[in-house]
Chain A
Amino acid sequence: RKEVEQDPGPFNVPEGATVAFNCTYSNSASQSFFWYRQDCRKEPKLLMSVYSSGNEDGRFTAQLNRASQYISLLIRDSKLSDSATYLCVVNRAGANNLFFGTGTRLTVIP
């Protein structure tokens, strides 16, 4: 079983829509959770960390559900510039590295 699993999409949504992505992780001892964004043929960049209590950054909201071992990302009022691949990233306690999901591709349509 993969450490991190995501629906690859693609998600095609109109401008202004709300879209949500989920990601599941396999190791209950994981401690750190992130969403990274990767534009086509570019490097990944940190979008936001995910905290236990959930957190919001403008139009983006991240949630963590430890009991079910998933994290989510909600994007409100989608913009064309939100089109990208969103990578779910998780660490595992005792492992000195991060595990990256394969990404969920989002296209926002005018």
Chain B
Amino acid sequence: NAGVTQTPKFQVLKTGQSMTLQCAQDMNHNSMYWYRQDPGMGLRLIYYSASEGTTDKGEVPNGYNVSRLNKREFSLRLESAAPSQTSVYFCASSERLALNNEQFFGPGTRLTVL
């Protein structure tokens, strides 16, 4: 099993460009998450999907959209990238939304917005 996979691993954008970060999991998990990690801030939840067909905002959703394409895939879209969105983005999944469930993380996408 690959676990949680993310593409791309690295990306450089110019301000105003758009892009979609892809995430897939092969563990048959119901819940999926997108986080960003910035120095001195810890991981912060952007959006999550409790189950296929549902999505909800996390702590820092502004400037992002998500799509839960099917049970396996959860994508994150930046419509008009800004330098403040320079960060490392992690996708995660868990068996269900219960807060005592372990979350499994993908390897991350390092995004720089110039």
Once the chains are docked, how many angstroms separate the CA of A102 from the CA of B102? 19
Q: Which B residues lie at the A interface, using CB under 8 A?
A: 33, 35, 40-45, 48, 50, 56, 58-59, 90, 97, 99-100, 102-103, 105-108
7 A-B pairs with the lowest CB-CB distances in the bound complex, closest first: A43-B105, A100-B43, A91-B99, A100-B42, A102-B42, A97-B45, A32-B99
Q: Which of A12-20, A44-52, A60-68, A70-78 contacts B (4 or more CB under 8 A)?
A: A44-52
**CB pair B41 A102 closer than 8 Å:** yes
CA distance A109 to B65 in the complex (A): 44
Q: Please determine whether A103 and B107 come into contact, CB atoms closer than 8 angstroms.
A: no
Whether the pair A103, B42 counts as a contact (CB closer than 8 A) is yes
Q: Chain A: interface residue count, which band?
A: 10 to 19
Minimum Cβ distance to chain B for residue A44 (Å): 5
- 7 residue pairs bridging A and B, Cβ less than 8 Å apart: A32-B99, A42-B107, A43-B105, A46-B102, A87-B42, A97-B58, A102-B41
B-contact bits for A18-51, CB 8 A (1 contact / 0 none): 0000000000000110000000001111100100
Q: Among A49, A96, A101, which residue has the most Cβ atoms of chain B within 10 A? A: A96
Q: Report yes or no: A96 in contact with B42, Cβ–Cβ below 8 A.
A: no
Among A84-110, those with CB < 8 Å from B are 87, 91, 96-103
Is B90 a contact partner of A44 (Cβ separation < 8 A)? yes
CA gap between A96 and B32 in the complex, in Å: 12
